[in-house]
Structures are given as C-alpha cells and as structure tokens.
Amino acid sequence: MATFTRSDWQQGYKSQTREYSYWIEGIEGIIPFEGTLFRNGPGLLDRNGQRYGHPFDGDGMVCRFSFVGGRGHFCNKFVRTPEFLAEEKEGKILYRGVFGTQKPGGWWNNLFDRKLKNIANTNIIYQGDKLLALWEGGQPYRLDPVNLDTIGIENFDRALAPGQVFTAHPRRDPDNGDLWGFGVEPGLKSIIRLFTVNQEGVYQERYQTKVPGFCFLHDFAYTTNYQVFAQNPISFDPLPFLLGFKTAGMCLELKPNTPSVILVFDRSGKLETYNTDPCFIFHHSNVYEEGKELVLDSICYGTYPKLEPNVDFLDVNFDRVVPGQLWRFRIDRSTGTVKREILLDRSCEFPSINPHYIGKNYRYIYLGCTSEAQGNAPLQAIMKLDLVTGVQQIHSFAPRGFVSEPIFIPGGAREDDGWVTTLVFNAEYNRSELVILDAHDVSAKPVAVLPLSHHIPYGLHGSFTTKVWV
Ligand code: CO
C-alpha cells in the first residue's frame, strides 16, 4: 500500500531560489545541545524552468543550522562556483552534468564536451578551521562559516595538484581527529590516492596505489589500520559520453557474472583484494577489526540503479527501483574469503553512526528507510537498528513527510547517548522541518522540531560541529 502521493514527493524536488538568514520561530520542544549542523544538497533543480536531468546534477546549496542558548538560526546560500555564476548570468544550462544533464541542443552540442561542472553539492565538512563544500569529481570549495559566502577552490597551499580530486565522503579518525579522504583517477587501471587533512587544516598525501579495472567509488570505510573500498563490477563505456549521446552516469553498466571486489589497503598503501557476489554499493556504515576478520557493513543494491536518457526522474516507478539493503561482509584475511549476510531487508539508505565509533566495534546504526517493511518507496522514516539484538526502532513521518540523511550528535559516554537529527520535507505545509530525536528511543516524540518558513529540496550529506556561528 502506498504511504505517500507522488505529487507530495515531487514537491520536495522544487528548486529553492531564495537565500535566507533568520531565527527560527515556532520551535516545539527544547533544543538539547549547542553547535552547528551543516547540510549540502542540490538547491536548484532547474535553471529558469530548464530542468537538470538528475537531482545529483543540481547546484550545491549549503544550509546552516546554528543552535545557541536554546534558539535556532537558519541560513542557506548557494556555492558560487564560476560555473554557477556563468549559468546565473546567462539564465540557462551551459555545462553537462555527470548523472543526467545534457546541454540543450542535442548530441552535436555535447560532442566531445568533457567539461563538467563542479557542483559542490554532495557534502560539507568543517576541518582545520576550513568549511569545505565537497563534490567527488573536483576540488573542494571553501566557504566562510560566518555568512556562507564562497571563498573559492581550496587546494591546501597547492598540496592538491590541478586535476587531483578530493572526496565527497571523508572519515574522521576518532582518536586523533585526522580527516581521511580519497581521490580516484578512473581508467582501465585506476589510481586511488589516500590523504589526510589534519586538525590544523594541513593536507598530506598518504599513498597512491594502482587498482586493476575501472573504479566508481563514492565512499570508503576506515579503521586506524585499514582503508576499505567496494569496487562495484561496473564498466564504463566512454564512447557515448564523448560523442555526446549520453551523460557519463548513463555510460555505466553492471558487468554480468562479475564479482564485486573489496579493496583493503593498509596504511602503507599495500592492497589486498577479496571477491564477493556482485552488488552495487554507494555507502558504507562502518568497518572494524575482529581477530583476523574485517567486519564491513554497507548498503547494497542488487544491480546498478541505471539511468536512462529521456526518462524523467520525477516519474520514476518505485516498484521497479532496486532497493538498497543493509549487508554485513566478514572479510577473513587469513583465508581470503568473504562471508556475507543481510542485516536489514527494508529499503534503506544514508547509514549514520556515532562518529566516535568510526573503525571500532559498534552496536547502533541510524538510517533513512521506507515507512513500510516491504516494497520500495521514498525514504519517509528514520530507523535505529541494534546490531546486537536486531531490535528496530522506527520513527515514520508518512504519509506527508520525507526524510533526509540522519546525523548523529554525540551527547554522553554510551554509544547511543546523543541525538539524531534529520531534515524532513513536510508536504502538508510545503516546508522543511529540522527534527531532533533522542537516540535512546528514536520512535518517541521528537525532542524538538524546528519548522522553517519554506522548503529545502531533498539534500545529500552534512555534518555537525560544536562550534557556533550566527
Ligand atoms: Co554519499
């Protein structure tokens, strides 16, 4: 049974063209912490009515929620990349998007145009006094945390060479605060570079290693001793992209009868590979060491969620969309084998954990999931999953609420001492609300709800810091 209407869901994909800065009124409940929550995601889904082909191609718009003295302040601003400014000036799409956007004018106008737009829309992180908007196909954009103005490309005093890409999914070492990230140069053999940005904001390359085959890597998992990637069995046929028929994202294919490969690097960059059954992974929850095993938890899709030209993502048939499900991989380094088991078969995405448990044996995962246990639909609920007992706590915002990534904010000594925040699009009022849940019991009434006076289009990733700017 459908728990939502398509028109409600589609409303959350309308562009937000306005930039705001105001104290949030009508807060229900008590805000239990101080600090700043940053979120990033596509703010524009169209340029003067000319729509981007895929929401991942939308221009990055950063949202800042500041919590201080029991009050909440909201501010949002676009990342003003040169490409954004050029398109704003011309009032039309000038660049191709990776996922679904062709420039208008047919294939001849896209012919051999490999210039993609760095849309800086995927994540945002504060590290070493630098607020960075992230996109995996380019270098980060540094923003001023005081007013979210765009300062420019951050190349860390030229430590990041031209053409070397940064990551959209860094992981912070909970023991020393180093931010770890990776860059990929895909090819027949791909190069993976691992790097750190320390708490002073200094970039350092740790290693680079050649990996056989094409790599489409969105995320990785981290322990102090190992960095773990899932190499999806994807092939890239660049010809239709170069010729302009298709976007790069449409040229990816899941190779039939080809295993997925789990790549395990040690801190010197030495690579071990482990084959497992084919699947497609965007996001990992966590990895930790247990004896000779590495235990890796990831959201897996049975096939690559392929993008077809001329299919409108707003018309997607959810019944035909392959669901993401939570799997556990036990990688036995002594035998070279991988055992896998499903932990959650409900459609889910955006796994989040207490950041103090990155790379460590952990118990709780917070996820966005469907409101119903069966079938596929937009994410309308937040789940806390206890990996020891299997107990699920669910907070559903159906039928008219649609959730985004949950972000855990630590608030005590135990793993689930803290809060889970998520930005919910409420179709009833056509606005978004920041919801704060008690991590001990996410199914309980929210600790606080902060209603915005407008909507924010469905976003991607974000992060929390205890520093405050207003
Ligand atoms: Co992601």
How far away, in angstroms, is 439 Cα from ligand 1 center? 22
In a domain, 291, yes or no: yes
Q: How far apart are CA 125 and CA 37, in angstroms?
A: 10
Say what the pLDDT of residue 304 is.
67
Q: Which string of DSSP letters, residue by residue, matches 208-265?
A: EEEEEB-------EE-SSEEEEEE--EEE-HHHHHHTSS-GGGGEEEPTT--EEEEEE
- The one-letter amino acid at 385: L
How far away, in angstroms, is 55 Cα from ligand 1 center? 13
What range defines the domain where residue 306 resides? Answer: 6-465
How far away, in angstroms, is 70 Cα from ligand 1 center? 31
Q: How far apart are CA 72 and CA 66, in angstroms?
A: 6
Q: How far apart are CA 160 and CA 166, in angstroms?
A: 8
How far away, in angstroms, is 465 Cα from ligand 1 center? 19
Q: Taking a C-beta distance cutoff of 8 angstroms, is the pair 340, 331 a contact?
A: no
In a domain, 243, yes or no: yes
Q: How far apart are CA 25 and CA 12, in angstroms?
A: 21
Say what the pLDDT of residue 352 is.
98
In a domain, 59, yes or no: yes
How far away, in angstroms, is 351 Cα from ligand 1 center? 10
Residue 365 in tokens: 């995962």
How far away, in angstroms, is 29 Cα from ligand 1 center? 31
Say which CATH number the domain at 63 has: 2.120.10.30
Say what the pLDDT of residue 428 is.
97
In a domain, 298, yes or no: yes
Q: How far apart are CA 351 and CA 299, in angstroms?
A: 8
How far away, in angstroms, is 174 Cα from ligand 1 center? 20
Q: Taking a C-beta distance cutoff of 8 angstroms, is the pair 319, 370 a contact?
A: no
In a domain, 315, yes or no: yes
How far away, in angstroms, is 433 Cα from ligand 1 center? 22
pLDDT (tens digit per residue) in 385-420 = 999 999 999 999 999 999 999 999 999 999 999 999
How far away, in angstroms, is 220 Cα from ligand 1 center? 10
> Which of the 8 DSSP states describes residue 156?
T
How far away, in angstroms, is 102 Cα from ligand 1 center? 22
In a domain, 270, yes or no: yes
HSE, side-chain direction, 13 A CA sphere, residue 261: 18
Say what the pLDDT of residue 239 is.
57
φ/ψ (deg, to 5) at 242: -65, -35
If one counts the domains in the chain, the total is 1
Confidence of residue 109 (pLDDT cuts 50, 70, 90): very low
How far away, in angstroms, is 350 Cα from ligand 1 center? 7
How far away, in angstroms, is 125 Cα from ligand 1 center? 13
Helix (H, G, I), strand (E, B) or coil at 82: helix
How far away, in angstroms, is 391 Cα from ligand 1 center? 26
In a domain, 440, yes or no: yes
pLDDT (tens digit per residue) in 177-233 = 999 999 998 777 889 999 999 999 999 999 999 998 888 899 999 999 999 999 988
How far away, in angstroms, is 265 Cα from ligand 1 center? 21
In a domain, 470, yes or no: no
> Which of the 8 DSSP states describes residue 5?
-
Q: Which residue has the tokens 């978004």?
A: 432
Confidence of residue 249 (pLDDT cuts 50, 70, 90): low
